[in-house]
Structure 1
Amino acid sequence: MKILITGGAGFIGSALIRYLLTETGHSVINVDKLTYAGNLESLKPIESSSRYSFEQADIGNAAKMEQLLREYQPDAIMHLAAESHVDRSIDGPAAFIETNIVGTYVLVEAARHYWQSLPEAKKAQFRFHHISTDEVYGDLIDDDSLFTEQTPYAPSSPYSASKASSDHIVRAWHRTYGLPVVVTNCSNNYGPYQFPEKLIPVVMLNALEGKSIPVYGNGQQIRDWLYVDDHARALLLVLEKGKIGETYNIGGHNEKTNLSVVQSLCRILDELQPDKPGGISSYQELITYVKDRPGHDLRYAIDATKIADQLGWTPKETFETGMKKTVQWYLNNLDWCRHIQDGSYRRERLGLGEA
């Protein structure tokens, strides 16, 4: 297939593109606006592939989206472009409304017009895959309950509300216009190339520099952790074999409190990077509790039975194996992190039109 991927310079999008170009014969058109979290360095392993094309563009630009669809004639769209950091959504929700809601509307409309113009054979094969989050479900009070595909939406933050809105838009375009869509909602991703504002890279980099490791509240918020390469495999499987109009939850089967995740990272660092800063005996000494985030959901947990039973997907990585791979990757790629921290990853885009 020829697959147009939005947000392909982001964390999950770049993992998906690397997987597609190294493990399959599919071709990829990467459409990314290159906001602060878009990093083309994450795509260097595949950027020279003859099956890869990059277009710097905003999904909210209707004329540009329609032009790219006409030009590349993709067989499928995988929509990952989104503002995705909860803290940023609390401080400045407008960008989340603009990208996640308005941008999705513009893209799905362009996709509808393109799909309706296709010959019948290509029209029947076309798919629009919308990639979303488990945060749209709110949080779980009962320790034994899990998010299923039928769980009512109850978003808590501007970010999750904007993603819930985008989910509803995509499903409405299927119901009203017949656009062939599939939707996936995933749990917390982790792994290589994650932007250093999320929990795991923040812990890693602060620890290595001897800085305090911030933990919100008491650290007892529970998340289900999914290794990003496992997620990439699941996304392609849903695109290829998922039933039109259906939703599939993708989870890692790894429920952990935020505090236990931080402690696990510190233990792995103690093992892999024993030369510690500041004379500390363990990186856990750097853990500091900070004021909790407003509206912080207590627990997320995904029931991934449907994708396992219907499509045969289960995660390959355990929390322990995936986390150790992640820590080792960061230790081997500190230059990648430093380019983000000092802003040089953005200055290198001058040739692409962004300072």
Structure 2
Amino acid sequence: MLVTGGAGFIGSNFIHSWLSAGGASVINLDKLTYAGNLGNLVSLSDATRYSFVSGDIGNSSLVGSILNHHKPVAVLNFAAESHVDRSIHGPEPFVMTNIVGTFRLLESVRAYWSDLEDDMRRDFRFLHVSTDEVYGSLLEDMNAFCESSQFQPNSPYAASKASSDHMVRAWQHTYGLPVITTNCSNNYGPRQFPEKLIPLIIHNALAGKPLPIYGDGLHVRDWLYVEDHCTAISTVLLNGKVGETYNIGGSVEMQNIEVVKTICRVLDETIPVGLRPFRGPETDSRLASYNELTTFVKDRPGHDRRYAIDSGKIQRELGWRAVETFETGIRKTVQWYLDNPEWVTDVQSGAYRNWINRQYG
């Protein structure tokens, strides 16, 4: 099958999960922007069931040639610009990838699918991976987002993803393209680009740097361990109903400040402050706990207060549910970053450092 955006965080974890479970061979198409990292897939470089193509989902001739040559039975679209802060500073790449790119990908896939033999046309699937941010923000006493919740995106990123979701739905309704959409809550786990909250806190703590938290730190997110997300996507791909949307969440609502405190506690237990491996110029040997590095910074514009996902549909209809608690998932995540210092060093390029300095001052 064709996986787009497979060098990113969720896409690369999905490829590892899918191939380790004995799934069909994978062609990975990725543009390799700042968050695309072939180091995420280095262990598959010699695998006979995996191949990589560098390119853009908006390149219709390239996508068409891949489809016609490899004849995939499914296309999974992970490709997206996905960082809210970057969308606030520069929304155009989000429009071009998430809206225009998805449109061109849909058209390429529709042309390919239309020419398939009847059996292949019937079995083919286009799975579009999206986010809970399309639904907007919840008040403290409001029910979690379900598949019929109204779209109310509040950031350029969320608006671009909502647009892509609408197009995917329309291509199924108008042209009959066999699509399925998933909307997930906040993912965390191995191989996540370190501008996101959890890897940023882990990396900064190990380097003795400030742990930045937006505003009052009381923003709530529903946290989903990435491997649980991958098994959910596999389940939807194999058993989901064409034209349906499935919300995927970890059923773990936590305030950002509690997330940071939990990471610091796990780090204190796993590798005490004085033993940390990534020491930077701001190291303070007098620290008793990583939590002392917590720093509150100016909130970002339009910061949604709360997200929460109701995963009842996928649990009832497809029998999936998250396995990891936040405690077990965050321990696995911390350990992965401790075990892979070369990966951390490689992704923290000059461009990444410039971005962090710009964003958090």
TM-score (ref. length: structure 2): 0.93
Query: Letter of the aligned partner of 2:127 in structure 1?
Result: H
Q: Could you say what secondary structure the match of 1:140 adopts?
A: coil
Aligned to 1:128: 126
When residues 344 and 212 of structure 1 are mapped into structure 2, their CA distance, relative to the original with a 3 A threshold, is closer
Aligned to 2:307: 300
Q: Structure 1 CA distance, aligned partners of 2:52 and 2:351?
A: 20
Query: Letter of the aligned partner of 2:295 in structure 1?
Result: T
Does residue 77 (structure 1) correspond to residue 80 (structure 2)? The answer is no
Query: Letter of the aligned partner of 1:138 in structure 2?
Result: G
Could you list the per-position Cα deviations for residues 234-270 of structure 1 after superposition, in whole angstroms to 9, with x for gaps in the alignment? Answer: 0011011000000000000100001000010000010
Q: Structure 1 CA distance, aligned partners of 2:203 and 2:226?
A: 19
Out of 157, 162, 165, the position equivalent to 2:163 is 165
Residues 21 and 46 in structure 1, CA contact (< 8 A), matched pair in contact too: no
Does residue 18 (structure 1) correspond to residue 16 (structure 2)? The answer is yes
Residues 75 and 127 in structure 1, CA contact (< 8 A), matched pair in contact too: yes
Aligned to 1:59: 57
Q: Report the CA distance between 1:142 and its aligned residue.
A: 4.1
Aligned to 2:264: 266
Residues 251 and 303 in structure 1, CA contact (< 8 A), matched pair in contact too: yes
Q: Report the CA distance between 1:275 and its aligned residue.
A: 3.5
Q: Structure 2 CA distance, aligned partners of 1:78 and 1:340?
A: 25
Could you list the per-position Cα deviations for residues 96-142 of structure 1 after superposition, in whole angstroms to 9, with x for gaps in the alignment? Answer: 00000000000000000000000001000000000000000001114
Q: Report the CA distance between 1:344 and its aligned residue.
A: 11
Q: Report the CA distance between 1:143 and its aligned residue.
A: 2.3
Could you list the per-position Cα deviations for residues 81-102 of structure 1 after superposition, in whole angstroms to 9, with x for gaps in the alignment? Answer: 0000000000000000000000
Aligned length: 343
Residues 136 and 161 in structure 1, CA contact (< 8 A), matched pair in contact too: yes
Q: Could you say what secondary structure the match of 2:257 adopts?
A: helix
Aligned to 1:151: 149
Aligned to 1:353: none
Q: Structure 1 CA distance, aligned partners of 2:306 and 2:83?
A: 17
Q: Report the CA distance between 1:67 and its aligned residue.
A: 1.0
Q: Structure 2 CA distance, aligned partners of 1:68 and 1:42?
A: 22
Aligned pairs (5 A) from 1:220-239: 220-239=218-237
Does residue 217 (structure 1) correspond to residue 202 (structure 2)? The answer is no
Aligned to 1:288: 295
Tell me the percent identity.
58
Aligned to 2:359: none
Q: Structure 2 CA distance, aligned partners of 1:55 and 1:312?
A: 34
Q: Structure 2 CA distance, aligned partners of 1:316 and 1:38?
A: 27
Query: Letter of the aligned partner of 2:47 in structure 1?
Result: S
Q: Indicate the larger mover: 76-85 or 63-72.
A: 63-72
Q: Could you say what secondary structure the match of 2:315 adopts?
A: helix
Q: Could you say what secondary structure the match of 2:180 adopts?
A: strand
Does residue 4 (structure 1) correspond to residue 2 (structure 2)? The answer is yes
Residues 273 and 288 in structure 2, CA contact (< 8 A), matched pair in contact too: no
Does residue 312 (structure 1) correspond to residue 319 (structure 2)? The answer is yes
Residues 148 and 249 in structure 1, CA contact (< 8 A), matched pair in contact too: yes
Query: Letter of the aligned partner of 2:73 in structure 1?
Result: D
TM-score (ref. length: structure 1): 0.95
Q: Structure 1 CA distance, aligned partners of 2:46 and 2:127?
A: 26
Out of 336, 346, 349, the position equivalent to 1:339 is 346
Aligned to 2:175: 177
Query: Letter of the aligned partner of 1:222 in structure 2?
Result: V
Query: Letter of the aligned partner of 1:175 in structure 2?
Result: H
Query: Letter of the aligned partner of 1:235 in structure 2?
Result: I
Root-mean-square deviation (CA), in Å?
Answer: 1.2
Residues 273 and 290 in structure 2, CA contact (< 8 A), matched pair in contact too: no
Q: Structure 1 CA distance, aligned partners of 2:247 and 2:304?
A: 18
Q: Structure 2 CA distance, aligned partners of 1:31 and 1:208?
A: 33
Q: Could you say what secondary structure the match of 2:321 adopts?
A: coil
For structure 1, the 5+ residue unaligned runs are: 346-355
Q: Report the CA distance between 1:49 and its aligned residue.
A: 1.2
Aligned to 1:352: none
Q: Structure 1 CA distance, aligned partners of 2:87 and 2:273?
A: 37
Residues 86 and 157 in structure 1, CA contact (< 8 A), matched pair in contact too: yes
Give 4+ residue runs of structure 1 displaced > 6 Å after superposition: none
Query: Letter of the aligned partner of 2:97 in structure 1?
Result: T
Q: Report the CA distance between 1:46 and its aligned residue.
A: 2.2
